Amino acid sequence: MRPNIVSEASVSTRVNQWWEGIPFITSAVVAVCAAIYLVCLLIGYDSFVGICFLPSAIISQFQVYRIYTSILFHGSFLHLFFNMLALVPLGSELERIMGSVRLLYTVLLLALSNAVLHLLIALLVAYNPFYPYSFLMNECAIGFSGILFSMIVIESSLSGVHSRSVFGLFNVPAKWYPWILLLVFQLLLTNISLLGHLSGILSGFAYTYGLFNLVIPGTSFFSGIENSTWLSACVRRPKFILCTGGNPSGHIPTYTNPNSTSSGSATTNLWSHLSSLMPQRDTSSQSTDSTQDTRFPGRGRTLGAPRSEMIPGIASDSNLQTRLLDNANSNSRPDMTAINSGGERPPAVNSVTEPINSLQQQQALIVSEEDIQKLVSMGFDKTQVEVALAAADGDLDVAVEILMTQQG
């Protein structure tokens, strides 16, 4: 008896599938943070004084690089593990909504806004006339958790849910969810930067209420970056998500009106000029009409029409398959209406054109045989290839689209 060969996927296969499902920027942040921690572990670097977010060093020595270096370093494996474990679902969801380039810009913007709020609060606490407290000026903070708190606020706003579960123990209103997390982490964990997490929450609310709209460019700016030549290698990767949103004001609509003019026409023109200065790839051959069905790439042609005759859209799956079946049936069955009652076919209408038609059919047959071999070598069934080539008038690109549609 043949043994059962069905088995579950291995751990490595599941890990690979999980990793391939994470979008480009989110996976890049995870990889960079993990690589930096591994390098620090190998060389024994654990002081972090030179790279952490230190308000006194930023103000006195103007070490602004700490704004971005501090979010990439982590103090321990558990610190890195839990931060990246929270980043994967949050970053993946936001990247699928915003697009890869827009998410990267948002992360950089949130890191800057978190740093500004962190500095302002630390200065206010340290130099207030009532009870000066200088500890916050000398607090050395590292980790990606400040950005994560901003993402939690933005994601809670975008999801539209009214309540959130705190570790599966109890539910809280969505608007209070980041504040409850801040309180829980501060009470249960040690060596936690309260000001870093608080700044992240405030930045997230500032983003959702549209306070950053003035410095967030429109969709055309991000599309210009995606079309630039120096980013073409990244854009072609399957995990890269294009910025396909149609929001003209440039921000993800949350509490604000997406048609608001808070950004101003001057800012829109500024971002448009900046995007025009970037080197662009030649996309003229890829331009399509607005009425094109986005499920199918390229342009369609009317079946049976000349190759130069193009139509702006492509028919649906059912109509396309129906026409293919009708075409196949009409080619396979004999022409019954052409047979008279005596069982003989009527004479040809124009005998002069018969040699020309037969010559064209022989040429088409030769071309079709070569095309059939090419498509069969790609793994398609020969019968389906013949039907697809007949429907596409010998056009290999259209035939491949038809075959892919049938398999899909």
Which residues are tagged catalytic? 145, 197
Q: Which residue has the tokens 């602004």?
A: 64
Q: Which residue has the tokens 């008279």?
A: 340
**Element at 352 (helix H, strand E):** none
32 neighbors 118 (Cβ within 8 angstroms) = no
Alpha carbons 122 and 140: distance in angstroms, whole number: 12
Alpha-carbon distance values, 3 to 6, 7, 8, 80, 94 (Å): 9, 11, 15, 44, 46
DSSP for residue 239? T
Alpha carbons 194 and 319: distance in angstroms, whole number: 61
216 neighbors 206 (Cβ within 8 angstroms) = no
Sign of CA dihedral 233, 235, 237, 239: positive
Q: Where are the beta strands (DSSP E) in 299-367?
A: none
**Element at 171 (helix H, strand E):** strand 170-173
| Paired strand residues for 280 | 228
Instruction: Supply φ then ψ for residue 228, to 5 degrees.
Output: -70, 150
Alpha carbons 48 and 258: distance in angstroms, whole number: 42
